[in-house]
Structure 1
Amino acid sequence: MGKEPRAEATAAAATRAAPAWGRGLDPAAGRGASGGDASGQEVPARPGEGWLERLQALATPLALPTDAAANGESASGVAVAELELAAGEVDAAMALAEPRGERLAAWLLAAWAVLLFRYNGGEVFFVGCRWETDPDGVWRPVRVQLDGAMTGAEVAAAMEAELASLPQAGITVEWMCRELGIGETEERHPVFQATFESIAPEAGDFEAAANAGEGSEDVPAPDARLLWRRRDDGGVAGAIACPRRRFLPSRVGRMARHFERLFCAMIREPDEAVARLDLLGPEEHARLREWNATAAPHDETAPVAALFVRQARETPEAVAVEWQGRAVGYGELDRRTNRLARALQARGVAPGKVVAIAMERSIEMVEAVLAVLKAGGAYVPIDPAYPEARRRFMLEDSGAVLLLTQRSLASGTEANVWDGACLCVEDLETSGVSDAPVDTPASGRDPGYVIYTSGSTGQPKGVVMPQRALTNLIAWQVARPDFARGGRVLQFSSLSFDVSFQELFSTWASGGTLVLIDEATRRVAGALFEYIRDRRIERIFLPFV
C-alpha cells in the first residue's frame, strides 16, 4: 500500500465532522470525555448504541511476550513501571498535533499501539480506552490497524480519526461478551489484551490505580495497561501495569522505557516508518552485541580437505563411507583419494581451477569430490538427470578444465554435451601413483565449490564458495551441543544441492560414517523409512515441507 492513498485517507478521516465527545472534550486537556457535547450538555445515549457493528469482526488477540513459565500460576498482583514524558517532549508533540486537528491523546495512543504492534506483530487488534470521567467498568474499544511501513504521523492521524468516530456512550465487558457471544476465559481478557487509560489526579498514584483495576474472578485484567495523566508542568506522567502471573517486573520496566523512547522517536521523526524507530536503550544494544559476539577462533588459511585428513589420522580404521554392502575406512579412503588427487594435479588441477563432477551416487562420486579438493581445485557438481542444455551451460559457464564422469554416463551422455576434457574415473590410472599425504596447495581464500541455482527465475547462476567459509561452517556445526560425533549420516541430497557438502564433511570432520542411498529408494517414503531403520541412520539433512 503506497503512502499517498493512506495519508489522504487518514487526513480526511481526521478532519471529518466528529461527535462532540471526540473533539469538544479532550482528555489530554484534563476534561471529561463521556456523555457530553461541545457545550458540556449531557447527550443521552442508549447502552451499546453504535458499538455492535464496530466490534463484529474482533481482531486476533494480542500475543505479547510473557514470563508465565518464570512466574508460575501462584504469582498475584500487578507489576507497575512508571514512566514520564517531559514538558518539552509534550510541547513538541502538540506542535505537531494541533495544526492537524489532533489531540495529545491520539499521539500517546499511537505510540502505545505501535509498541504493541512491534511486540506482537499483529496488524489488527483492539485497545480498550477509558477516560478519567468514565464510570468503573465502562470501556471504549479502539480498533488499531497498522503496518510497519506507516509513519508515526500516519498512525497518529488514524488514531485521531478512530477516537473522533467512537460512539458517545461506553460499554461494559459484560455487554460485549453477551452481544458478541464471547465465552468467559480464566486466562485472558475476553475482548482486548491492552488498555489506554486516562487517570484523574484524585485516583492516587499509579500503583493504587493499577491495583484498583486489576480485574475480577469473572474478567481477568488485560495483559498490558497504559495509565497516564497530564502533569501541572505540562508533561505526562504514566505507568505500564501487567499481571505478575504473566509478566516479570523487569519486563514491565523495559516496556515503560520502550514506550518513552518510541514516543520521543515518533515526535523527532514523524515521517519515519514505525518499524524502523529504535526502541532499545544503550544497555539493551550492548546486550545484543554481547549475545551476537559469536566469533570463535578459526584458521582461515586451512583448506577443506584438511577436515578429512585430520580425522583420517586419528581414526584410520573407522568406516568413512558405506555403499551396497561395501565399507571403506578413513585410512583407505585417504590413500585412494591421495592417488586420485595426484593424478588430477598431473592434468592441471590446481587452486582456482574448476573440475566438473557428473556421476551417479557411489563411493567413486564422494572420492572424486575429496580428490578434487585435495588437488587444490574446486568442484562443480553436474547432475546427470539435468536436461542436456542445462548441463552444457553449466560446464561452459563454470570454466571447468576437466569433467569427471563414469563409463555408464560417458558412453551416451556426458561426452556428447561438452567439447572439453572428459575423463572416466574407471579409466584413470593410479596404480603407480603414490598414496602418501598430498601437500594440498589450496588455502582458505581459494574456491571450494561452484554450485548453480535452480534457474527458476531465469538462467542458473553459479555461486562460488571460498574454502574458509566452508571450513567455518563445518567447525560451527560440529561444535554445536546437540551434534553427536561419530554418527551414521545418510547422504540423501543431490551433489548439486549445497547441503550435500554438509552431509559429507560434517560427517568426516567428526569421525562419522557416510551412508549412501540409491535414487529409487530415496524417492519412495516407505522404502526410505525402511532404509533408514535397517542401516541405523542417526542423522539426516532434509528440507522442511
Structure 2
Amino acid sequence: MFNSHHILLDGWSTARLMFELFEIYHRRGDDSGLPPVTPYREALSWLERQDRAAAENAWRTVLAEVEEPTLLAPDDAGARTVPAELVITMPDELAARVRETARRNDLTLSAVFQGCWALLLGQLTGRDDVVFGSTVSVRPAELAGADQMVGLFINSVPVRVRVRPDESLLSLLTGMQRQAAGMVEHHHLSLPDIQRAAGRGTLFDTLTVTENYPMGGDDLPELPGDLTLTGARGTDANHYPLSIAALPGDGLRLHFGYRQELFTREDIEVLGDRFRRLFAAFADDPEQLIGRLPLLSDAEADRMLALGMPAQPLPGGDVIPALFAEQVRLHPDAVALVHEDTSLSYAELDRRANRLARTLIERGAGPERVVALALRRSPELVVAMLAVLKAGAAYLPVDISYPADRIAYLLTDAGPALVLATAASAEVIPDVCAAPRVLLDDPATVRETDARPDTEIEPGERRGRRRPPTPPTSSTPRDPPAVRRASW
C-alpha cells in the first residue's frame, strides 16, 4: 500500500511514480538507467513568472455579481467520517452516442459532463446562476518535460454557469467550453486567491473532475522484464460534501464521493439516474431547450405535481398567506430567512410584510392586479413577495440581469399596477413601462412603511375581494408524499 498527500503529487504523477518504481524494481534498485526529468523547481520558477494581476482580473470578470455561494449542503458542519464512494456506469450504447454527439458538435466529454452537473445543481439548489469547483491540470506546454514531472500540478478553480430555460443545451455547453478554454492560462491562480479577487469567501461545496491518467488501457506501457501487474486500485478523498469524477476510459463512469452524514446511497443513485437522463437528452437532441429537459423521472414529476395543488381548499382560501400565518402562530421566533448577515424570524418577516402590504394597497395593489418585483436576491425580495400576496395581488419576478428588450417585453406584456425596485435596480426599468415605481430604499418610502401597523391585513383593507383558486376535481383526495430532504 502506498499513501501520499496531494501536496506531494497528483494523480498523473502517481502513474509516473509507479512506472519508475516498476523499472527500479526490475533493475534491483539501480536508477541509473532512468531518463532525466525536469526538476520541480522549474515548475515553481514558471509559476513565479506568471502575470498574477491579469489572472486576478480574469477571475474577477468571470465571477462578477455572484451574489452568494452555491451550496448543496448549507448546514454542513465539516467532515466527521471518511467519505463513501459509489461508481455508476452509463450503458455502453449511451456512452457511445454521447461521445459521437460531442464529437459532431466539437465538444469535449468534460464540457458535456460539467454542463449536465450545472443543470442538476441548479435544480437541486433552486438557482439559475450556479458555481461549482473543477479540478484542473496545470502542466503548461511551454514547460519542457512537464508531462514527465512528479509533483503537485493540479488546482481547483470555480466554474460559473448561468442557466436560462430558453437557451438550448448545445448553446449552454458551447458557452461553458469557450469560457473554460479562455481561462486555461489563469488556472495557476490558487483558489483562495481567486476568492479574494472575487471579493468572496466560499463559492461552492461540490467538486468535479474529468480523469485521464496514463495508468490503464492503451496508455499503460509494457512492464519491464517478467513483472506482471495483476490489479491496482487507487482512492482519494477531499473535504467537499460531494465530489464527482467522470472516468471516460472505454465507456463512461461517474465516481461519486459523498459524506454519509449528508447524503445517502439512494440520494447518489438518484443523481446518477438524472445524469443518465441528461446524457440521453443530449445524445438525442442537443438543440432542445433547457426548460424542456427531463431533469425528473416520471415518478418524481408525479410526486411534484401532487405537491402543487391541494385536493381540498385550504382554510381562508389565501393559500400562501394562510400557510405562512399558521407558521407565524406556531413558530414565531423560529428563523424563517437567512441571507448573509441578515436573519429574520417568522414574526419579524410577518411584521415587515404587513407594513409593506399596506403601503402597496395604498398605492393600488390588490386582487386581479400584478406587481412587478425588479429586485436582486435579498431579504427585501422575500418581504416584497409576501407583502404582494398579503395585499391580494400577484407578483411578477423580473430578473434585472436580463437584456433590456427582454425586461421591456415582460413589463409590457404583464401591464403591472406597480413596480417594486431600489434606486439601483430601477435603472433597468424601461420607459415603455408606465407603472408607478415604488423604491424600497427611498427614505420617504421607508418612513411611510415603517409608520404603518404591522398587524395582519384585514379583509376590508384590500381593494376588492380575493378569490381562492378552484381546486382540481378529484374523487379521492391524495395526501402529499413526505419530502425527506428539501434539496432533493
TM over 0.5: no
- TM-score when scaled to structure 2? 0.44
Q: Please identify the structure whose Cα radius of gyration is greater.
A: 1
- TM-score when scaled to structure 1? 0.40
